Structure 1
Amino acid sequence: MVSMSKPRARVRDRISALPDALLSHILSFLPTLCAVRTSILSARWRNMWTSLPNLDFDNERDSFLGVTIGPYGKDRFTTFVERVFLYRNSCDIKKLGLKIRYPVDFSHIDDWICTAVRRNILEVDLHVFSDEIEEGEGFQFPQSLFMCKTLKVLKLYSNSWTIKYPPPPPGCFPNLKFLHVEIDFPDPDSLKNLFTRCPMLEELSIHGFSDCARVYDIYVCAPELKTLRIKVSDPYKNCYFVINAPKLEYIDIKSAALSNYYLKNSNGLFNASIVFEEHFSNYKDEYQLCRLAELLSQRTNVNHLSLEIHDHCLQAWYHPFDFGNVNQMKLVLHDCYYWEVLAVLLTKSPKLVDLALEHRIKSHDEYSLPQWKQPESVPACLLRNLCTITIKGFRGHQVEMDVAQYMLKNGHVLNNMTIYTGHLCKKEKELYKKFLMFERRSMSCKVEFIKM
């Protein structure tokens, strides 16, 4: 008896059956080299890549035949990019990503950007890095990009003076909304040309490493700016930022040692996030927190404040300032006198309504923790305004218990205290029994333990 095998069921190619616009959208999330290689799949895919809205080139990632260094590898990459632009159809380009990690002929980069500008580019993500460029040389920022009417997002990454920014013409960046600049050892004169000619800019992000041998005066003038993020490794306080942004609402600063910031016309500033990074934690500066207070007291109305501090000198907290408008505060501290800072901040924040605390310590030795030194008098916020307290990283140490007990005893309008316990914390049931014995000024206050 001869058995007849059943024919295999034909597998339906559901992906190829998708509309062209959807396939093109999916391919746009791939590196352009990978998208082009789909042309060998079938006749259906042969020209699909020619309508990609996003182009992403990287001359290190997109190496050919394993060649990443040398003239041969560079020429193959340049030829590939030029052919992609040549064989693309006439549809607009939404995003152009160029990552150049070793020298190429800069005129090619200029040509590619100019081509994208003619195709109504919306976003440019440009990385140019080279260790073979001498001062005075480098890639000249193209004038066509300054004048592009469709450009809304611009991201620039480079080292040292690889990218040079010439004085922009009048009316540049007419519709630019987001600008991110990340440069090691930047040229401050070039940056001034960039940060003062963006009439419609709403979000600005500045990342860089400050050279201790020179002083950086960074001037930002943006009438529509709402969000400003600055991350500068500046252990010697050589950065001076002058910010003229009347519509600024949120500022986010990350720094090893707080630089000098001068705000102009910033009455709309409501949210601020300040992080003192650990890179140069051995560098002590008793005035840096005073500069923080000066920054936030320059005619601002900050009511949401987030502070993250490593082991820095705390003498500055006794400077005569206060956060008179702050009603929401998040405080994250690393291996420093956590409870001493808290006592001072409570005194200096009379309108505080919502307080979130987080303590991150490397040592779990209870005897190494400083003791709770309560304020000489009950802070005004505890008497009238503080309603919610959240504590993360709670381990059940005696000093933590003392702080919680003080808050409950003196919080006249306290409604909720939520405690997130870590894996080193004592059992929640035992803690809960102790908390039941604590005196509470507010009879409506609820205490909740949540294990993380």
Structure 2
Amino acid sequence: MGNDRISALPDYLLTKILLDLPTKDSIKTGVLSTRWRNLWLSVPGLDLKVSDYLPLHQEVLTSFIETFMEFNLGSHLQKFKIKNDHFKYNVSSDWIATAVDRRVRVLDVEAKNVLFVIDTMPMNIFQSKTLVSLRLANVELENQDIVVSLPCLKIMHLDNICYGEDGPLIVEKLISGCPVLEDLTVVRIYYEDLETMPVLRVKSQTLKVFHYMFKWGMPTTYFSVEIDAPELKYMRFRDSQSDKILVKNLSSLFKIDLDTEFNVKFGGSPLESEDLRKRDIIRGFLTGISSVRHMIISQPTSEVLYHYSKLEPIPRFHNLSHLQAAFSSSSLQLLPAFLESCPNLKNLILNYSVSEEPEQIDFTTVPRCLISTLEYVEIKKLKMKVETGIKLGNYFLENSAVLKKLNLSFTDSPMANEESESYKKLLISTKLSPTCQVIID
């Protein structure tokens, strides 16, 4: 009964367990018994958040980290994670260089924000033969002469990096120097008093997952992004600041989560019919992702696409089977036109919001997918006192020949059972598909 089976495990298993804990929790296990007292020093990794060690003086924290790094100096490190979330402390780039020399596999370095950047990253970080995962946040990369060779790196996360004038070149070198890169995250941000990266080029033959975000920018500054990734399966794209967006070779794309205004509405300017350049950019982007099977689009994106659809047809998405889109009542007229470009759609989820503009909904066209493929429709955020819910529901019920389920969710107070049944009867009175099930939440 009193046997401590965990303590009886060999050191290599215990340190493997402790490796999954933050270092502060690993240290706490030292109070369990003499068996555990200094075991944390043998853990092949460091996971620190500076604020967890306050109010230690800088010298004490420095001594603590250096003691750890010097212990078992000849051994390899599995991971080195440090988050400097307090502006009074400095994180030495020498520690990072030492971790790379110790053949670290996972490197995660984060400063409080870019105004308190850690020293410029050591040069050996770009030539590690063991790194599998690299995450840098709020740090500085500023050397156009870097030579990048990261043969094992599969995951790279670059968040709010200060690149200086050589930003585009540095990022291109980082990506091209990772021959097995599969997962890339880039977060761009603009500070008026710091150099920024006007052009982002992502070109990779191995990339499968790409998360991209441009947090905010300036209306007078030109930004662009170019993506060329023939093996890309998933892309999350958040950018309303870039004036130019170019994608190509995305025939393998399976899913996209799209939130962009193509810099159309930045500053309140609408998409003008004479703005042929912007229309070319939007058309080129939609054509470039046209092989996608699963798409999520935000309300700002649907607003832009609504104005675009009034100027020219939306490119076809022949492979698209699942669409999740956010619409306001002002842009809901886009829906039939967009569905017309998705002839094989099976599942549709609509996040609907009532806007202040007058509703002008007159669904007269019946897209091909309603007749032949659409099986599931869910409409969220409806309101009982707004006619749009009934119009939308009836539109799908009256025109969807193979529809199996229509799910309606309301944001206002719950309906009584009799109200729900009356509402449901009103909807199903004209349904085309005899097997369609109507569910009201």
Q: Could you say which TM-score interval applies, normalised by the shorter chain?
A: 0.7 to 0.9
Matched, 1:231 2:192: no
* Matching residue of 1:3: none
Cα distance in 1 between the residues matched to 2:326 and 2:284: 20
* Matching residue of 1:24: 15
* Matching residue of 1:431: 423
Structure 2 gaps, min length 5: 272-277
Cα distance in 1 between the residues matched to 2:254 and 2:115: 44
Cα distance in 1 between the residues matched to 2:431 and 2:93: 68
Query: In structure 2, which of residues 97, 120, 127 is the aligned counterpart of residue 114 of structure 1?
Result: 97
Amino acid at match of 1:331: A
Query: In structure 2, which of residues 134, 147, 151 is the aligned counterpart of residue 174 of structure 1?
Result: 151
Matched, 1:447 2:438: yes
Q: How much has 1:193 moved relative to structure 2? A: 3.0
Q: How much has 1:327 moved relative to structure 2? A: 2.6
Residues 281/336 of structure 1: CA separation in 2 closer, same or farther (3 Å cut):
farther
User: Alpha carbon RMSD of aligned pairs, Å?
Assistant: 3.3
Worse-matched range after superposition: 422-431 or 142-151: 422-431
Cα distance in 2 between the residues matched to 1:12 and 1:281: 68
TM-score by length of 2: 0.82
Amino acid at match of 2:147: P
Query: In structure 1, which of residues 149, 159, 165 is the aligned counterpart of residue 129 of structure 2?
Result: 149
Cα distance in 2 between the residues matched to 1:219 and 1:129: 27
Q: How much has 1:225 moved relative to structure 2? A: 0.5
Residues 34/443 of structure 1: CA separation in 2 closer, same or farther (3 Å cut):
closer
Matched, 1:410 2:399: yes
TM-score by length of 1: 0.81
* Matching residue of 2:48: 57
Q: How many residues align?
A: 418
Q: Which structure 2 residues correspond to residues 356-371 of structure 1 after superposition, within 5 A? A: 356-360=349-353, 368=356, 370-371=358-359
Residues 377/341 of structure 1: CA separation in 2 closer, same or farther (3 Å cut):
closer
Residues 230/426 of structure 1: CA separation in 2 closer, same or farther (3 Å cut):
same
* Matching residue of 1:139: 119
Residues 62/31 of structure 1: CA separation in 2 closer, same or farther (3 Å cut):
farther
Cα distance in 2 between the residues matched to 1:256 and 1:300: 20
Structure 1 gaps, min length 5: 1-9, 68-72
Aligned residue for 2:52, secondary structure, equals coil
Identity of aligned residues (%): 23
* Matching residue of 1:191: 171
Cα distance in 2 between the residues matched to 1:61 and 1:336: 48
Cα distance in 2 between the residues matched to 1:214 and 1:30: 36
Amino acid at match of 2:390: M
Cα distance in 2 between the residues matched to 1:185 and 1:113: 18
Contact 2:336 2:366 in 1 (8 A): no
Q: How much has 1:173 moved relative to structure 2? A: 0.8
Amino acid at match of 2:176: T
Q: How much has 1:11 moved relative to structure 2? A: 6.3
Q: Which structure 2 residues correspond to residues 36-115 of structure 1 after superposition, within 5 A? A: 36-63=27-54, 66-67=55-56, 73-88=57-72, 90-100=74-84, 101-102=86-87, 108-110=92-94, 112-115=95-98
Amino acid at match of 2:215: S
Residues 424/294 of structure 1: CA separation in 2 closer, same or farther (3 Å cut):
farther
Amino acid at match of 1:430: S
Amino acid at match of 1:332: A
Q: How much has 1:260 moved relative to structure 2? A: 2.3
Q: Which structure 2 residues correspond to residues 261-272 of structure 1 after superposition, within 5 A? A: 261-272=245-256
Aligned residue for 1:145, secondary structure, equals helix
